[in-house]
Amino acid sequence: MTISIKTSEEIEKMRVAGRLAAEVLEMIEPYVKPGVSTGELDRLCHDYIVNTQHAVSASLGYHGFPKSVCISVNDVVCHGIPSDDKLLKDGDIVNIDVTVIKDEYHGDTSKMYLVGKPTIQGERLCRITQESLYLALRLVKPGIRLRTLGREIQKFVEAQDFSVVREYCGHGIGKGFHEEPQVLHYDADDGGVVLQPGMTFTVEPMVNAGDYRIRSMKDGWTVKTKDRSLSAQYEHTIVVTENGCEILTLRKDDTIPAVLVNEA
């Protein structure tokens, strides 16, 4: 596989795209509440991306995807299609996945929102999923094998009696929405990939409260847990630095520093 090493100029463009994607997730937060439709949330995100940020939604029209963001509620693992018929209710957990294109470069990120008063399981699942992402990001530095990230995510998640989805993974990103390498969130062959400064990719574990198996809906996009258990996901776009990684999609509510410096 050919993994592109980004130049400093390319990384700066990705910083801009990543910051815009993070700002969409910050902007939409006050609107995620009981009674709102996922269709309305999508329209708010689209308007913000196009008219405020003067950017482009990478999702809209991607392989025919009909909306500007993916919104996945409760047992939806990923690729949920926003709809005016889907109203959020108290206790729901919601993932909003945003990818913005600015000056040809992509910024890709997602986070969970707790609607109203969360259930104990829903809150715990979201917290553990976010912690699994942070755990992986703290491990990133030049010279480590890519599979280390997936191995440690899987170990951490399964110790909490949750499971990691196998069919979807993180990915290289830049001018392309999905580039090499694939970033698996469980322990599996990585093709010998060793991290190098300038690599840019997403880490985006999908964690189920029950079994890891999934089922695809007839719309060709929506993916749900097979056992109808809750599912959560957090995603960041990062660049590998000389001594760790920089999170290009950092939000104000993130509880880890903008630059993760690993111990020697």
Q: What is the pLDDT of residues 48-92, one digit of tens each?
A: 999 999 999 999 999 999 999 999 999 999 999 999 999 999 999
pTM of the model: 0.95
The confidence score (pLDDT) of residue 260 equals 54
Domain-embedded: residue 1: no
Domain-embedded: residue 211: yes
Q: In the chain, how many domains are there?
A: 1
Q: Residue 77 is part of a domain; what is its CATH number?
A: 3.90.230.10
Domain-embedded: residue 217: yes
Domain-embedded: residue 133: yes
Enumerate the known binding-site residues.
Answer: 79, 97, 108, 171, 178, 204, 235
- The full 3-state SS of 82-141, as one line of letters, equals CCCCCECCCCCEEEEEEEEEECCEEEEEEEEEECCCCCHHHHHHHHHHHHHHHHHHHHCC
Domain-embedded: residue 85: yes
Q: Name 93's bridge partners.
A: 114
Residue type, 30: P
Domain-embedded: residue 81: yes
Please name which of 136, 138, 165 lies closest in space to residue 150, comparing C-alpha atoms: 136
Domain-embedded: residue 63: yes
Token pair recorded at residue 122: 């829903």
Question: Model confidence at 255, in pLDDT bands (50, 70, 90)?
Answer: confident
Enumerate the known binding-site residues for a divalent metal cation.
Answer: 97, 108, 171, 204, 235
Domain-embedded: residue 27: yes
Enumerate the known binding-site residues for substrate.
Answer: 79, 178
Domain that holds residue 143: 8-261
Question: Model confidence at 248, in pLDDT bands (50, 70, 90)?
Answer: very high
The dihedral sign for the CA sequence 82, 86, 88, 91:
negative
